[in-house]
């Protein structure tokens, strides 16, 4: 009877793996449609963000690096999904291909969900900081020495500059 336990474990693990593969094939159409639905939702959020950035840039603000990185990641996700759809149209869709594409679609839905949740924490625009040119101080070293001397002296309470 001891030899049945490892055998049952192997059969159980094999069944789980086969069931997972069958699940990918069975839910293939649903997962691809879900991926396309999520992509459209992400595109809408991206377009809203782009409009907000354009409006802010007209007011003199600049977009943050977070926004630029987020928009770049959205474009990458969109191009990866386009590749999945292209391979879907160009290949003969058998069980193995459905399984692979179903896994990819599931991964892309997770990536899109992560992008959507990260969008809430992205700061859109910041006020640009104008840098002012500095000039070397000429002739103020004597005044600075007197001020430092006054600060070091315990008897002096107030310094007017």
Q: Which residues contact 46 (CB under 8 A, 6 or more apart)?
A: 71, 74
User: Degrees (nearest 5) of the Cα angle 36, 37, 40?
Assistant: 85
Task: State residue 10's pLDDT score.
Answer: 64
Min mean pLDDT across 8-12, 85-89, 97-101, 149-153 is at 8-12
Task: State residue 110's pLDDT score.
Answer: 92
Q: Report the chain's mean pLDDT, rounded to a whole number.
A: 78
Task: State residue 75's pLDDT score.
Answer: 94
* 125 DSSP β-pair partners: 63
Mean pLDDT calculated for residue range 70-88: 89
2 pLDDT tier (thresholds 50, 70, 90): low
* 115 DSSP β-pair partners: none
User: What tokens appear for 161 in the block?
Assistant: 């500059």
Q: How far apart are the first and last CA of the chain?
A: 96
Backbone dihedral angles phi then psi of residue 39, each to the nearest 5 degrees: -65, -40
Residue 14 pLDDT exceeds 70? no
The overall pTM is greater than 0.75: no
**b/e map 24-41, b = 16+ CB within 10 Å:** bbeebeebbebbbebbee
Comparing 88 with 31, which gets the higher pLDDT? Answer: 31
78: exposed, middle or buried (C-beta count within 10 Å: 0-12, 13-18, 19+)?
Answer: middle
Residue closest to 111 by CA, chosen among 75, 68, 87: 75
Min mean pLDDT across 16-30, 89-103, 115-129 is at 16-30
User: What tokens appear for 11 in the block?
Assistant: 């059969």
Distance in angstroms (rounded) separating the CA atoms of residues 25 and 156:
85
Task: State residue 9's pLDDT score.
Answer: 67
- Helix spans in the chain (H): 4-26, 28-58, 65-90, 95-119, 141-152
Task: State residue 113's pLDDT score.
Answer: 92
């Amino acid at each position: 009877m001891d030899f049945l336990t490892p055998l049952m474990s192997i059969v159980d693990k094999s069944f789980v793996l086969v069931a997972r593969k069958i699940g990918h094939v069975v839910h293939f159409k649903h997962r691809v449609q879900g991926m396309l639905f999520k992509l459209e939702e992400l595109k809408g959020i991206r377009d809203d963000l782009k409009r907000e950035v354009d409006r802010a840039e007209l007011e003199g603000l600049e977009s943050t690096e977070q926004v630029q990185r987020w928009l770049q990641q959205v474009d990458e996700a969109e191009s990866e999904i386009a590749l999945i759809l292209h391979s879907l149209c160009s290949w003969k869709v058998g069980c193995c291909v459905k399984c692979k594409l179903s896994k990819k679609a599931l991964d892309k839905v997770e990536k899109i969900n992560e992008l959507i949740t990260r969008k809430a924490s992205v700061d859109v625009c910041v006020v640009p900081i104008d840098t002012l040119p500095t000039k070397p101080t000429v002739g103020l070293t004597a005044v600075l020495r007197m001020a430092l001397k006054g600060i070091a002296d315990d008897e002096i309470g107030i310094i007017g500059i």
